[in-house]
Structure 1
């Protein structure tokens, strides 16, 4: 496994936490401690903030091409270390190696995409309607930014936030999830190797997120928060940001509907369901939770899905051939267990899975449920596990109504071969993204984000860099009469 720094990165220097504290990092497949990393406190956060603020002026004035070239070099370094980074990621969060390799290349693509976007930052020039002045529009970096990433896609989410911030000319404090700091520390080391100046990226690993982040958000010097995580934590952070009107982008929870109409290609729908449900063991905000299938095909769909889910190989993610690794920790597995038990108590039928295996590690088997009571908790809870609940519907209006009956609106999946219906349902779903006849929507070139309580703003695509840029309008008066005298 690749060796990475275990300290904080502040002002270009790797250093221990001020109070000497450390945070254990567990292997979810065994429960054993892999290593310990520095556990930052409020003093460390202030030092990181000082470094980011001090570096902002010079970094914001760096040529766009220079910023892009740093990202390009980082992209090439990441691609040269796919296997090592994948093993590191799998060790700290359990994702199967094959999938971890895919995430490494996915993360690299964000670095490449935003290396190209750095030189495409555009302003504008126009005439005011009354002709009295010209309007000059300038784009400027928003300033020092706090980036908070989740544990489920530790390298990709870091790259998806760091990439546009670097391209836009923002300095950063990056706080990874306490379960998975190693991938973030590896990314920071790579960016440093690629030539990122000291102080531009500062990394604070911590088990005390509230103590570290709240002073940053309420202190008045951090001007941007980019957060990926739960809606509950997102609400808390939004309240803190309101005190000093910090600009925010929030990628929060999801409860994705997966709608299969009677005219759908069933083989294609099952393939899409496997992708949408089982990516990262179901521990994804884009994971399909509620499978609404037309009554005429619901039983057959559930049978095929159960057969595919039951055939998946479960085991430690570091073992080649494994398709389903452990869940992140004991709390994550307990949540899945409780949701399945609640559904079964309400009458759900288990087609496959549903029982926690004995032994070490936080494993839970791929599970398919039918006859699910709509009042079951898993219908309005983000499952974050390998559990699919299949429910029948009778017509399009019912399918759309039930799909939209949630506080979240991140992504939805629609399977139909009828063009009119496809377009109509895609327009009616209250989500930020739709997978039409596909179970995968994520792509660095596309804007990622949701509506309702799934968040604010977008990451990736042409709009991703906009989250880190402000407009500055300059009024330029026009002299009348053609005189060139001063």
Structure 2
């Protein structure tokens, strides 16, 4: 029965905060080797609702030894357990079962996600739908992981390339999209035949534990799907264990470039396969031929999704000087008429708070420093303590110069920095003048310019006349310091399989 082992203390706390249906998926233990477990130390940490900083749950604070045990379970399941013996069709069926369960419980999952992340229920519902699409996709891809038969240069031989699961996959996921980032990674790993140890963000573990509940109900064998939770106190040691434990053969991480570099170094000792989806600093360029209204709509979608807390959010706006003032006026008008901040569970609210105090302080400091040096404020610009401790207004700044920190910093908040340009070559140079390259956007009706600029932007993903580009079918990932590998699409499988070359020699022709 779902959620049968929730403690009375955990149920009492949660029942005050969640609907009866949402409560059915809440767990206050980690899921390891098919069992719900506490940390060996017995320690727990609190999960806070970013809307008002109230406690919505307490989960185990697992240490490196606890995580090592989870890795052992995943390793046994991969090497000797039932999952190692499954066919592609059986893995497809497990994933389809999981998809069906999460689809049926989509509203419950959205409630949990909104409570611990703060985004509106409308955004949470959209994320659940988006995340589920990856499990559906990889349930189908599981049956299409094919090898190759090669032409031999020597008579009497047959040459084969086999694709085999790499082994235990460690998946470290962020707080901004706590559902979709797990399904995008775990869907591919499980389709390939890998087993998983998942470490969700300490800010949003309840969504991951709810997913584990449904994965168990879907029939995945024990040890196949493990979720471990840890507080900031133990997070670095747990991450180190996942990187350095030789039984883990794949590390997949989504998060900041700084942390990604640390994990990259730590994985070197065991030469793991790596998939790193790291920070971005996306340019948003509007050329003078563009449809301004379409560009404004794209800017709204790209900049303010999840209150600007997305790695693919537009961060640096470059608007052609001929249309700059018109664009700014229409953009500000849309912000004022369409964005309503507040508790995401409230009807009509479109945007929630920032995730934590450090994020609020960072955004506030960037905006205040820019204003002190002469930036022009068109709307927003300050925190909204009357709504809650972590709210910050949707903000538009112009006249921002390179001397201001905000000019080339990934803001990760609801702040749009808008600059003028007049020359295509100059704006491409500015757009590429950053060590990262995840996503980029531009608007133009000039078809030659469309192909020319799309090729010249140094990013892994380009939105042309479109501000919302993520989908299951497309390969998601960046270049430069924005990471390694791709997620989603049929390429999402690549990080979780090894290619084995088989040469069969001395075959005798009986003719």
TM range, smaller chain = over 0.9
Aligned to 1:55: 77
The answer as to 2:358 corresponding to 1:331 is yes
Note the 1:345-360 alignment, pairs <5 A: 345-359=372-386, 360=388
Task: Provide the secondary structure at the position in 1 that maps to 2:418.
Answer: strand
Unaligned residue ranges in structure 1 (runs of 5+): none
Q: Deviations over 1:94-123 (max 9, x none)?
A: 001111100011111011000000000100
Establish whether residue 260 from structure 1 lines up as the match of residue 274 from structure 2: no
Q: In structure 2, what is the Cα distance between the partners aligned to 1:418 and 1:60?
A: 53
Q: Does 1:64 align with 2:88?
A: yes
* Contact 2:169/2:194 (8 A) holds in 1: yes
| 2:263 counterpart (237, 261, 271) | 237
Alpha carbons 2:402, 2:408 under 8 Å: kept: no
Question: 1:142 aligns to what?
Answer: 166
Contact 1:404/1:429 (<8 A) preserved: yes
Between 1:348-357 and 1:56-65, the stretch displaced more is: 56-65
1:38 to 60, 79, 100: 60
Are 2:136 and 1:112 equivalent residues in the alignment? yes
Cross-structure match for 1:161:
185
**Superposed displacement of residue 346, structure 1:** 2.1
- In the alignment, is residue 269 of structure 1 matched against residue 295 of structure 2? yes
2:14 paired residue number: none
1:76-225 maps to which residues of 2 (within 5 A)?
76-131=100-155, 133-207=157-231, 208-225=234-251
Question: In structure 2, how many angstroms separate the alpha carbons of the residues matched to 1:479 and 1:256?
Answer: 56
* Separation in structure 1 between the aligned mates of residue 73 and residue 279 of structure 2, nearest angstrom: 32
Q: Distance in 2 between matches of 1:130 and 1:31?
A: 69
Instruction: Indicate conservation of the 8 Å contact 1:263/1:418, yes or no.
Output: yes
Number of the residue aligned with 1:391: 419
Shift of 1:358: 2.4
Give the counterpart of 2:99 among 75, 80, 91. 75
The one-character-per-residue Cα deviations of 1:219-275 (angstroms, maximum 9, x if unpaired) are 311100000000000000000001111110000000000000000000000000000
Q: CA deviation at 1:129?
A: 2.6
Residue 483 (structure 1) shift: 4.2
Deviation at 1:127, TM superposition (A): 2.3
Deviation at 1:60, TM superposition (A): 3.0
CA distance in 1, matches of 2:270, 2:127: 35
Contact 1:60 / 1:141 at 8 angstroms: preserved in 2? no
| Contact 2:398/2:419 (<8 A) preserved | yes
User: Matched residues in 2 for 1:212 and 1:305: separation?
Assistant: 44
Q: How far is the alpha carbon of 1:303 from its aligned partner?
A: 1.3
Alignment-derived partner of residue 496 in structure 2:
468
Partners of 2:316 and 2:408 within 8 A in 1: no
Higher mean C-alpha deviation, range 74-83 or range 323-332: 74-83
Q: How many residues get paired?
A: 483
The residue that corresponds to 2:8 in the other structure is none
> Is 1:340 paired with 2:362?
no
Q: Which moved more, 1:228-237 or 1:339-348?
A: 339-348
1:246 matched to which residue of 2? 272
Say which SS state the counterpart of residue 253 (structure 2) adopts.
strand
Q: Structure 1: how far apart are the matches of 2:510 and 2:108?
A: 68
- Displacement after TM superposition at 1:132 (Å): 5.4
What CA deviation, in whole Å up to 9, does each residue of 1:127-158 have, x standing for no partner?
22344522111110010010000000000101
> Residue 316 of structure 2 aligns with which residue?
290
Q: Report if aligned partners of 1:310, 1:353 keep a CA contact under 8 Å in 2.
A: no
Q: Which runs of 5+ in 2 are unaligned?
A: 1-17
Distance 1:479 1:315 in 2: 72
Matched position secondary structure for 1:136: strand
Q: Confirm or deny: 8 A CA contact 1:354 1:367 kept in the other structure.
A: yes
Q: CA deviation at 1:479?
A: 3.6
Deviation at 1:432, TM superposition (A): 0.3
Match of 2:442, SS state, is: strand
CA displacement at 1:48 relative to structure 2 = 0.1
How well do the aligned residues superpose, as a CA RMSD in angstroms? Answer: 1.1
Distance, in Å, in 1 between the alignment partners of 2:131 and 2:389 is 27
| Contact residue 134 and residue 478 of structure 1 kept, 8 A | no
Distance 2:97 2:370 in 1: 50
Residue 368 (structure 1) aligns with: 396
TM-score, normalised to structure 1, is 0.98
2:146 & 2:433 partners in 1: Cα distance? 40
Deviation at 1:307, TM superposition (A): 1.4
Deviations along 1:386-418, one digit per CA (max 9) or x if unpaired, are 000010001110110000001110000010011
Structure-2 residue corresponding to 1:12:
34
- How many angstroms apart in 1 are the aligned matches of 2:222 and 2:507? 46
